[in-house]
Amino acid sequence: MDFCPKCGMLMYPEKEKGEIRLICRSCGHQERPIFSNKERFVVKREIEHSPKDKTLILEDDQQLKTMPTMKAICPKCGNTTAYYWQVQTRRADEASTTFLRCTICRHTWRIY
């Protein structure tokens, strides 16, 4: 399975003028597959993520103290204050997921 480098949609193998090409049905981008044998083909693409693409997990108490807080009831201990942060866990056109961490027991949960 391969995805279009231009729009991110699935690329489909199609035979065109006697040769197999991967074609995006959304934007029309085309590329040649790399054949591993006559029955199958493989397209390899390495994706490099920048540091800003990675999710930061805070474990140090000093780092947690710089996070914003909100009123939320911890399901584990009943405390009414939690640190919070948001992560885009689903598609870009959907709302972010808000993660909360209790300021006392450090239990972490999420709200959608």
Per domain, the residue ranges of the chain are 1-47, 51-111
Which pLDDT belongs to residue 84? Answer: 92
Catalytic, out of 39, 53, 61, 93: 93
Q: Are 66 and 83 in contact (CB under 8 A)?
A: no
Active site residue 31: no
Question: Given this model, what pLDDT does residue 15 score?
Answer: 79
Residues with Cβ < 8 Å from 12, sequence gap 6 or more?
22, 23, 24, 25
Domain 51-111, what fold?
N-terminal domain of TfIIb (2.20.25)
pLDDT, tens digit (0-9, with 9 covering 90-100), for 4-25: 889 989 888 887 777 888 889 8
Residue 65 and residue 56 in contact, taking contact as beta carbons nearer than 8 Å: no
Query: pLDDT: is 101 or 87 the higher one?
Result: 101
CA distance linking residue 88 with residue 52, whole number of Å: 12
pLDDT of residue 94: 82
Q: Which CATH number fits domain 1-47: 2.20.25, 3.30.70, 3.30.2030, 2.10.260?
A: 2.20.25
Active-site residue 46, yes or no? no
Domains 1-47 and 51-111 share a fold: yes
Indicate whether 60 pLDDT > 70: no
Q: 74: exposed, middle or buried (C-beta count within 10 Å: 0-12, 13-18, 19+)?
A: buried
In this predicted model, which residue has the larger pLDDT, 4 or 38?
Answer: 4
